[in-house]
């Protein structure tokens, strides 16, 4: 058996698969996010451990014999988080999360240093790890002086699981310290934030062995054998492993808290000025590009909170058949935006409201706004040399047929639906655990799921959608002038 642990923003998911990659069971532990100030987003790493224990306990309650047979564990996690620990492995402050934008001033200062884009292949975004450390150095110098290691969230779980300080390429590519082409830490970039390689974890590929489960935890979980822990992956690269998006040109769209348009690349294709992320993939000698929007289902959940209706009820009011845009436009910049704008300060808006603008009209605008934001990502990827002819949909938002039809029509490409099953980050992590434990061929393991159906663009609405997207594109410069 193989265990995947995915540390998300809202919870930890544990998934068991067998040697044939059949899912045996899964369980969750919940997490909350602390937002003590505008633009801040934090979590206590102790809560990650608690949630991981909850998730594994849930599996043990239902599948004790299968859990006992685990020989490999893979890790996946939310990227970019700055987890700071001292020489005694004590956490120095709450982890600053991926969607925390407080360090936008520090990010701009680092990005102005041409070495960062040249070596990492990416803009230094406020959500990345390096500017967070620069913020801590400036605002919390006592904390900064005690930093012995900087760990990404899933690698803090690895420390708890194995006692090892190890990370891997896909997650580390989102720190602004990795030489992404060489797949190695850059001592030059670390020095620019007054850090050294000694304060970084060791680096391995996501498919490699990266520690062994501590005896105490193995005993607690009822496991008697030796358990290998794989390098693992950042959440999007892990999802790509789960979806089989590992070969050049394969792509998926993820509608989770954030939205992601992800394409696998057989070579390193950086174009930082497009705000496209060019990262290492979890498999050796493979890279990927992705565009990221900060609020996807988060935007619908915000609308749900305001209206007092569940997300399912709201999308249900629209029916199954896609409608032409109404003239009401929603900009989903609730916590700023990453691709293509790299703007931490801009905020969202409804434009074009009138007396007749019902709740359903606003819901439709929210779904379209997210679809158009993903279209922005497609245009950015195209400018960076990646063509996408179809995508596979994953994430909680992909349960809405209407939303996927909007995305297919906005992008002008078919959206494939995987057959029933869970092919997300926890499944990808379990696959990496299997590869690390058995030495299996990564390409042979990371195959795509069977497609259960395809949602084609609604050609009758393509013109109306193109007009609405043109309106959407024109609005960012207008509201940017108000936010800055």
- Residue set of the binding site for substrate: 79-80
- Give exposure, 352-376, as e/b (b: 16+ Cβ within 10 Å): beeeeeeebbbbbbbbbbbbbbbbb
The closest of 158, 212, 440 to 168, measured between CA atoms, is 158
The closest of 365, 408, 402 to 388, measured between CA atoms, is 408
Catalytic residue among 100, 235, 343, 376: 235
Tell me, yes or no, if 194 is annotated catalytic.
Answer: no
The total number of residues written for the chain in this structure: 484
The closest of 315, 250, 308 to 283, measured between CA atoms, is 250
- d(Cα 412, Cα 405) in Å, to the nearest integer? 10
Are 333 and 318 contacting, i.e. CB atoms less than 8 angstroms apart? no
User: What number of CA atoms fall less than 13 Å from residue 146's CA on the CB side?
Assistant: 14
10 Å Cβ neighbour count for 9? 21
- d(Cα 110, Cα 420) in Å, to the nearest integer? 44
**What phi, psi does 216 have (nearest 5°)?**
-60, -40
- d(Cα 7, Cα 56) in Å, to the nearest integer? 12
- d(Cα 119, Cα 108) in Å, to the nearest integer? 16
**What phi, psi does 16 have (nearest 5°)?**
-105, 130
Is the link from the previous residue into 480 a cis peptide, with omega within 30 of 0?
Answer: no
List helix spans (H) across 269-350: 297-307, 311-316
User: Which pair of tokens denotes residue 45?
Assistant: 């790493």
The closest of 370, 311, 361 to 337, measured between CA atoms, is 370
Q: Beta 202-204 vs 228-230: how paired, if at all?
A: unpaired
Rg (CA), the chain: 21
How many angstroms separate the Cα of 390 from the Cα of each of 187, 249, 253, 254, 401? 39, 9, 10, 13, 16
DSSP for 140-194, please give it: -HHHHHT-SEEE-HHHHHHHHHHS--EEEHHHHTTTT-EETTTTEE-HHHHHTTT
Are 4 and 428 contacting, i.e. CB atoms less than 8 angstroms apart? yes
Active-site residues, by number, are: 235
């Amino acid at each position: 058996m193989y265990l995947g642990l995915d540390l998300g923003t809202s919870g930890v998911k544990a998934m068991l698969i067998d040697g044939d990659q059949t899912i045996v069971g899964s369980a969750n532990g919940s997490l909350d996010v602390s937002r003590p100030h505008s633009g801040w987003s934090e979590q206590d790493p102790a809560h990650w451990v608690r949630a991981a224990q909850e998730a594994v306990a849930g599996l043990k309650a239902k599948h004790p014999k299968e859990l006992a047979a685990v020989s490999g564990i893979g890790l996946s996690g939310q990227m970019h988080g700055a987890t700071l620990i001292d020489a005694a492995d004590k956490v120095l402050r709450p982890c600053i999360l991926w969607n925390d934008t407080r360090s936008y001033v520090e990010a701009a200062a680092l990005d102005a240093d041409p070495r960062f884009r040249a070596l990492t292949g990416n803009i230094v975004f406020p959500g990345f790890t390096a500017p967070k450390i620069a913020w801590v150095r400036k605002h919390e110098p006592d904390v900064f002086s005690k930093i012995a290691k900087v760990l990404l969230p899933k690698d803090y779980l690895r420390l708890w699981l194995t006692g090892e300080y190890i990370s891997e390429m896909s997650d580390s590519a989102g720190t602004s310290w990795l030489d992404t082409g060489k797949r190695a830490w850059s001592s030059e970039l670390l020095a620019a934030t007054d850090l050294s390689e000694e304060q970084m974890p060791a680096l391995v590929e996501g498919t490699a062995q990266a520690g062994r489960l501590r005896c105490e935890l193995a005993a607690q979980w009822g496991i008697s054998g030796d358990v290998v822990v794989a390098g693992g992956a950042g959440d999007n690269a892990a999802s790509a492993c789960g979806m089989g998006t590992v070969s050049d040109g394969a792509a998926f769209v993820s509608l989770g808290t954030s939205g992601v348009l992800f394409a696998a690349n057989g070579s390193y294709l950086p174009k930082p000025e497009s705000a496209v992320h060019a990262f290492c993939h979890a498999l050796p000698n493979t890279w990927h590009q992705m565009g990221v929007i900060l609020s996807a289902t988060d935007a619908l959940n915000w609308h749900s909170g305001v209206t007092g209706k569940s997300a399912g009820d709201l999308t249900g009011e629209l029916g199954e058949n896609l409608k032409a845009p109404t003239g009401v436009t929603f900009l989903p910049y609730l916590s700023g935006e990453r691709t293509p704008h790299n703007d931490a300060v801009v905020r969202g808006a409804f434009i074009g409201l009138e007396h007749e603008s019902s709740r359903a009209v606003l819901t439709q605008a929210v779904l379209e706004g997210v679809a158009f934001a993903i279209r922005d990502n497609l245009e950015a990827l195209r400018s960076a040399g990646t063509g996408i002819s179809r995508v596979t949909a994953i994430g909680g938002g992909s349960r809405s047929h209407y939303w996927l039809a909007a995305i297919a029509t906005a992008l002008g490409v078919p959206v494939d639906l995987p057959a029933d099953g869970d092919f997300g980050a926890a499944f990808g992590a379990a696959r990496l655990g299997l590869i690390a434990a058995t030495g299996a061929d990564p390409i042979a393991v990371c195959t795509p799921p069977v497609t259960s159906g395809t949602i084609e663009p609604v050609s009758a609405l393509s013109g109306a959608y193109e007009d609405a997207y043109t309106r959407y594109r024109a609005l960012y410069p207008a509201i940017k002038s108000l936010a800055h």
